[in-house]
Amino acid sequence: QKHLLGIEGLTVEDITGLLDLAEEFVILNRQIEKKRTTLRGRTQINLFFEVSTRTQSSFELAGKRLGADVMNMSASSSSMRKGETLMDTAVTLNAMHPDLIVVRHHASGAVALLARKVDCSVINAGDGAHEHPTQALLDALTIRRNKGRIEGLTVAICGDVLHSRVARSNIILLGAMGARVRVVAPSTLLPPGIERMGVEVARDMREGLNGADIVMMLRLQRERMNGSYVPSVSEYFHYFGLDEKKLSYAKPDALVMHPGPMNRGVEIDSIVADGAHSLIREQVEMGVAVRMAVLEALSRNLPNA
Ligand code: CP
């Protein structure tokens, strides 16, 4: 494939191939010498219209470890602040002959639109509430390394499913890989018709976490709740915040995940976030390996490769 715009459209073989390749980069990244030359001479632009810590920094590290020249651009420092459109920005950057553009944008579908305007490969680093494919891939890698498989596991995705591109990408990926996926949220934070994505739906944590192998918590995305109901933090934490008591509803060996950034005391208690069941730091490590795998896989289809 030329682009990675979403998990939708990837086959099980595509996903497994990327995870297997990422395993090699996990080993490389734990060595002193971490550099490869796959992207030597190539230019990677990271174009972020929304803030990011994990995704932007790991794409930068991933590109540099593969030998690319990496340029970071944010909306706040670009001419979009002077009224330039996304499409004009894309055409402008395209004229500089990049080989890869990594894009995060607040509008669903914006990354796919941009991909149609440029000649190079485009990677979706999160578009609105649509998809965040590399997050789902790094989550899958983390699960597979800790549970030895994905197929047959029960994964509870809990919290603000309505506004979450992470939930959407994970639902598609985990379902394709044979996991049983359950979303757990108040009705106000569930997209209408979510059942059609092949998930079970629970509206309280006791029911939702029952028998879960993986408990994946989502951030309460208050910045996306313009005009809609915003739950009070204390009420939300009481009913849906993951603490030790609620985690005890899941299997005894259940593992806890969170894509970050975490809101401690809102969707997750610090005792659980930093506890023995938590995979949250490992998810960050897997993020660099998965993004190296995606860059390497796409580099095979670059012109003159
Ligand atoms: N998980 C995630 O996308 O984190 P950032 O917003 O920090 O990139």
pLDDT above 80 (res 14): yes
Query: Mean pLDDT, to the nearest integer, of 267-291?
Result: 98
Q: Please state the atom number of ligand 1 nearest to the C-alpha of residue 104.
A: 8
CA dihedral over 17, 163, 218, 161, signed as positive or negative: negative
Mutating to test ligand 1, I would choose from 55, 72, 219 the residue with most ligand atoms within 8 A of its C-beta, which is 55
Residue 99, SS3 per DSSP: coil
* 282 alpha carbon – ligand 1 mean position (Å): 14
In short, whether 135's Cβ falls inside 6 Å of ligand 1 is: yes
Mutating to test ligand 1, I would choose from 52, 157, 291 the residue with most ligand atoms within 8 A of its C-beta, which is 52
**HSE toward the beta carbon, residue 36, CA cutoff 13 A:** 18
* 303 alpha carbon – ligand 1 mean position (Å): 30
* 52 alpha carbon – ligand 1 mean position (Å): 5
Q: Whose CA is nearest to atom 5 of ligand 1?
A: 52
Residues 157 and 218: beta-carbon distance below 8 Å: yes
- Please give the backbone phi and psi of residue 9, each rounded to the nearest 5 degrees, phi first: 100, -15
| 43 assigned to a ligand binding site | no
Query: Mean pLDDT, to the nearest integer, of 4-10?
Result: 97
Q: Whose CA is nearest to atom 3 of ligand 1?
A: 55
Cα–Cα distance between 108 and 267 in angstroms, integer? 24
* 262 alpha carbon – ligand 1 mean position (Å): 10
pLDDT above 80 (res 77): no
Q: How many residues does the chain have?
A: 305
Q: At 115, is the pLDDT very low, low, confident or very high (cuts 50, 70, 90)?
A: very high
* Contacts of residue 302, Cβ cutoff 8 Å, sequence gap at least 6: 42, 99, 100, 120, 121
Cα–Cα distance between 9 and 15 in angstroms, integer? 10
Predicted local confidence at residue 83, as pLDDT: 78
Cα–Cα distance between 13 and 242 in angstroms, integer? 34
Q: Please state the atom number of ligand 1 nearest to the C-alpha of residue 125.
A: 3
- Please give the backbone phi and psi of residue 257, each rounded to the nearest 5 degrees, phi first: -130, 160
Q: Whose CA is nearest to atom 6 of ligand 1?
A: 52
Q: What percent of the chain has pLDDT over 70?
A: 98
What's the pTM value of the predicted model, to 2 decimals?
0.96
Residues 54 and 287: beta-carbon distance below 8 Å: yes
Distances in whole angstroms, Cα of residue 197 to Cα of each of 13, 187, 194: 20, 16, 6
Token pair for 164: 């979450």
| 104 assigned to a ligand binding site | yes
Contacts made by residues 51-56, CB under 8 angstroms, sequence distance 24+? 52/104, 52/125, 52/126, 53/260, 53/261, 54/259, 54/260, 54/261, 54/284, 54/287, 55/104, 55/125, 55/126, 55/132, 55/134, 55/135, 55/287, 56/104, 56/125
In short, whether 259's Cβ falls inside 6 Å of ligand 1 is: yes
| 54 assigned to a ligand binding site | yes
* 98 alpha carbon – ligand 1 mean position (Å): 24
Q: At 231, is the pLDDT very low, low, confident or very high (cuts 50, 70, 90)?
A: confident
Query: Mean pLDDT, to the nearest integer, of 267-277?
Result: 97
- Compute the 3-state secondary structure of the chain and give helix, strand, coil in percent, each to the nearest 5: 45, 15, 40
Predicted local confidence at residue 27, as pLDDT: 98
In short, whether 223's Cβ falls inside 6 Å of ligand 1 is: no
Distances in whole angstroms, Cα of residue 165 to Cα of each of 10, 169, 277: 16, 6, 24
